[in-house]
Amino acid sequence: MNMMRTGLLMAGMTGLFAAVGFVIAGTGGMVVAFLIAAAMNAFAYWNADKMVLRMYGAREVDAATAPEFVGLVRDLARNAELPMPRVFIIENEQPNAFATGRNPENAAVAATTGLLKRLSREEVIGVMAHELAHVKNRDTLTMTITATLAGAISMLAQFGLFFGGNRNNPLGLIGTILVVILAPIAAMLVQFAISRAREYEADRVGAAIAGRPLWLASALQKIQVAAERIDNVEAERNPATAHMFIINPLHGGGVDSLFSTHPATANRIARLQAMAETMGPPPAHARGPWG
């Protein structure tokens, strides 16, 4: 259901781009704006993982420097039938985690020291399974495409603002002004909706990878409470990265509304609890050393 919803939302954004492009800039302007936005996001797609890991001062670890954590991730990757990702630890008291990388072969997962200190082993398993679910679902690619379209729509709006728009459009001057104002907002709302849908899907797939939905549910509750009272200074300085984390690291970011990048934690927990009720014991291949 979430996959279908994401597909429909992306199709809707594509349609919005085409319609807005013609109204604001005509066919030529629409193509130019899309190419510029695509080039910008292609650079981000190939380099965003390095940029965000550097931004948060992430330290790569291996079996020698963090044997338990790396071993845990290795077992989960095997359960998920994924290549072993690079593993990083971030010196930050706020418990949180994210995944990055352009595809499963070039993926990285990162957890904060706060997460590793404040959560149980089972809860850490739930969190890292969620992050590997993002890798498995290729959510980085989905969000890159979405960002490309949203960026192109914003550029078209700026073209309309500075160059007067497409005077041959059927909506006239008033219509152009309304589109210039409303189109970027609409694109942002669709982008947020896709981000929320991907979080729900990663919860579902991650719970299946770990074999215990309630481990992730318990982790989400703890992370949400801690995130409300512990600052993540780097995230506050770079709010555009907030959607990457398993829980919004910004204060006041937990509302399940049109303007939130994450679903409400209570809603996510409720879904995981319902999933746990329908699941029997995890299959043998999903138990690992923690089963």
Strands (E), the chain: 59-61, 86-90, 97-100, 108-112
**Bridging pattern class, strands 59-61 and 86-90:** antiparallel
Spatial contact of 110 and 60, defined as CB atoms under 8 Å apart:
no
Tokens 């609409």, residue located: 186
Q: Give 81's DSSP letter.
A: T
Using the Cα atoms of residue 249, residue 47, residue 44 and residue 85 in order, give the sign of their dihedral.
negative
> Is 131 an active-site residue?
yes
The partner residues of 245 in beta bridges, in order of sequence, read 98
Listed residue (245, 286, 287) closest to 134, CA to CA? 245
Q: Distance between CA atoms of 86 and 111, rounded to whole angstroms? A: 12
Q: Distance between CA atoms of 116 and 119, rounded to whole angstroms? A: 6
Q: How many helices (H) and strands (E) does the chain have?
A: 9, 4
Q: Distance between CA atoms of 288 and 109, rounded to whole angstroms? A: 19
Out of 123, 131, 199, 201, pick the active-site residue: 131
Q: Distance between CA atoms of 42 and 46, rounded to whole angstroms? A: 6
Burial class (CB in 10 A: 0-12, 13-18, 19+), 267: middle
List residues with catalytic annotation. 131
